[in-house]
């Protein structure tokens, strides 16, 4: 699919996977609307090296009106790419020394990671369905973000694994639903990626995590996720697929 000159909406765009993806799309001539929480947008908005072509918009992905407003920032008929990167990763066991897993934390993970992804997908698809199709009949592409935790959730990842498993499960159903509109849907399931959140754990922890990856023995890079998004955009026969980007990692229980 030809994306130069089109608009894209990227959630979680103020840092990590979302920021790398927003920058990569902008470098390919795409007008990027980067969505993140107000606090994240405020922190990132003053960055001196903010990529030209990326406009940050404050919105909660689980809020219908805020997402509608963000989708509306794109010029009519121009929104061709949506990448859902926004997410949270709470850690809590079902039963621990603190008692039972609190329900609100579980609900919040589902609300942000799963409901938020669906909310952005449905409202963006509604706009994309009005686009003029290209010569292949395509009107748009949606790339969602799951995780290897969707398949091998570790101890303490019950809420995160459930939410990301839901994202992976939506992929084929969404692709089939939106096929009639010429909109493709794919999902990327990253392994351990070197994001600011992971970096905060320290070099020793990062080195031990990298050692668990079969090959290459390192953490993933946000830029690799971004390049995969660009490849998915180019390969128009790739649809309804969840792609693991993890160096052959299969997570152990802990």
Number of other CB atoms surrounding residue 225 within 10 Å:
24
Of 76, 92, 24, 88, nearest to 53 by C-alpha is 24
3-state secondary structure (DSSP) of residue 241:
coil
C-alpha torsion angle, residues 161, 164, 170, 175 (rounded to 10): -140
Alpha-carbon distance 34 to 90, whole Å?
23
Strands annotated E in the chain? 7-11, 31-36, 54-58, 79-84, 95-96, 99-100, 140-145, 183-190, 242-245
Instruction: Kindly name the residue from 160, 220, 242, 247 that is annotated as catalytic.
Output: 160
What's the rounded Cα separation, in Å, for the pair 214 and 222?
Answer: 19
Among candidate residues 133, 120, 220, 226, the one with its CA nearest the CA of residue 180 = 133
Could you confirm whether 237 is annotated as catalytic? Answer: no
- The dihedral over CA atoms of 6, 196, 14, 158, expressed in degrees to the nearest 10, equals 90
Whether the CB-CB separation of 127 and 74 falls below 8 Å is answered with: yes
Bridge partner list, 207: none
Q: Which residues are catalytic?
A: 160
């Amino acid at each position: 699919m030809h994306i130069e000159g089109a608009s894209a909406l990227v959630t979680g765009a103020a840092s990590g996977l979302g920021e790398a993806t927003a920058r990569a799309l902008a470098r390919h001539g795409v007008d990027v609307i980067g969505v993140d929480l107000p606090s994240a947008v405020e922190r990132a908005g003053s960055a001196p090296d903010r990529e030209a072509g990326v406009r940050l918009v404050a919105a909660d992905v689980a809020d219908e009106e805020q997402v509608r407003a963000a989708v509306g920032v794109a010029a009519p008929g121009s929104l061709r790419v949506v990448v859902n990167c926004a997410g949270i990763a709470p850690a809590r066991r079902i039963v621990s020394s603190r008692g039972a897993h609190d329900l609100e934390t579980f609900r919040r993970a589902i609300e942000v990671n799963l409901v938020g992804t669906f909310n952005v997908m449905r409202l963006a698809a509604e706009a994309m369905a009005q686009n003029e199709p290209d010569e292949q009949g395509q009107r748009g592409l949606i790339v969602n973000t799951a995780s290897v935790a969707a398949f091998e959730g570790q101890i303490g990842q019950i809420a995160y694994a459930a939410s990301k498993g839901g994202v992976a499960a939506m992929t084929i159903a969404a692709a089939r639903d939106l096929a009639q509109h010429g909109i493709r849907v794919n999902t990327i399931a990253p392994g351990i990626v070197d994001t600011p959140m992971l970096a905060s754990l320290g070099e020793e922890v990062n080195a031990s995590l990298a050692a668990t990856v079969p090959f290459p023995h390192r953490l993933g890079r946000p830029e690799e996720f971004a390049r995969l998004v660009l490849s998915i955009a180019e390969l128009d026969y790739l649809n309804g697929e969840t792609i693991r980007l993890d160096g052959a990692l299969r997570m152990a229980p802990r």
